[in-house]
Amino acid sequence: MGDHPVAWLRSRTNMGPDTLLAITEYGMSLQASLAAIQNAVPCDRAGALNALVTQAIECSRQTQPLQTGDEGPNFILSDARGSATALRALLLEGPAVIVFCRGSWCPYCSAELAAYQLALPAITARGANLVAISPEIRDDSLTDNEIDALDFEVLSDPGNLTARKFGLVYALDSESRAQFEAFGLNLEAANGDASWRLPIPATFLIDNDRSIVFASAEPDYRQRAEPADVVAALDNLSGRDG
C-alpha cells in the first residue's frame, strides 16, 4: 500500500514555517498557499484526505467557538523555550492577535504561521502583539530552525485547556484516530495526553478591554483567516478608538 495522503503531503512539501516563507514571499495570499498545499496531493490520495476533513467537521459540530463581542479568557502559557506569556500582559501593550493551530505536523498550520510571520510587521506597526497556540508539548512542538524562522511566540497549551476556554476543542472519533496512527501521527505523544483532542483552527483579535473584535474558527482545517483581514480589523479598531 502507498503512503497515506497526509504522510505523502508532509514528505513531499516539508512544510515548516521557514520553507513556506518561500511560497508566501512571492505575494501569494494565505488562501492561495493553502490551495497550493491541497493541489500537491495526487488525485488517487485526495479522497482519503477529503475524508479526514469531513471527519474533522463532523467531530467538531458540538463546539461553540467564542464570537465577536465575547470576552477573551486570560491564559498563561509557555513557549518552546519555557518563557511564560499571559494574555493580560499582552493586552497591557495593545491588542492581541491569537492564532490557534493543530500542531507542527499539520502543513496547513505551517503555512498559516509562515503567512503570519510575513504579516507580523503590519500587525506590530498597528500596536498589536501576535502569538500562536498549539496543544503540542514543548519537546514535540517546533524545531529550532522553525522557532528561529518565527518572530512571534508559539505557546504550548497542554490538555487544550486554553483552547477549551475559547470553545474550540473536539475529540477525534475512532476512525480518525486509526487514520492518524496509520500515518505515524501519535497525538498522545505529541500532546502529552491520551485525550485525542484537537482545537479547531481559529484566529481572534482581542482589544485591551479583553473584548473579541475579530473571530474566525474553521472546522475545515484547510481554511484559515487571511492575515490581511486581521490587519484590516486592526485598522478598524484604530479608527474606532481614534
In this prediction, residues 143-165 reach a mean pLDDT of 84
Q: Whole-model pTM?
A: 0.84
Mean pLDDT of the residues in the chain = 83
Instruction: Give residue 7's pLDDT.
Output: 43
Take residue 98 and report the three cell numbers written for it.
491569537
In this prediction, residues 193-215 reach a mean pLDDT of 97
Instruction: Give residue 48's pLDDT.
Output: 67
In this prediction, residues 27-53 reach a mean pLDDT of 69
In this prediction, residues 28-36 reach a mean pLDDT of 71
Q: What is the pLDDT of residues 99-112, one digit of tens each?
A: 999 998 888 888 88
Take residue 218 and report the three cell numbers written for it.
474553521
Domains of the chain by start residue, with CATH: 5-241 (3.40.30.10)
Buried b (16+ CB within 10 A) or exposed e, 177-189: bebbeebebebee
In angstroms, the Cα distances linking 38 to 84, 110, 113, 122, 168 are 35, 13, 17, 27, 23
What is the percent of the chain where pLDDT is above 70? 77
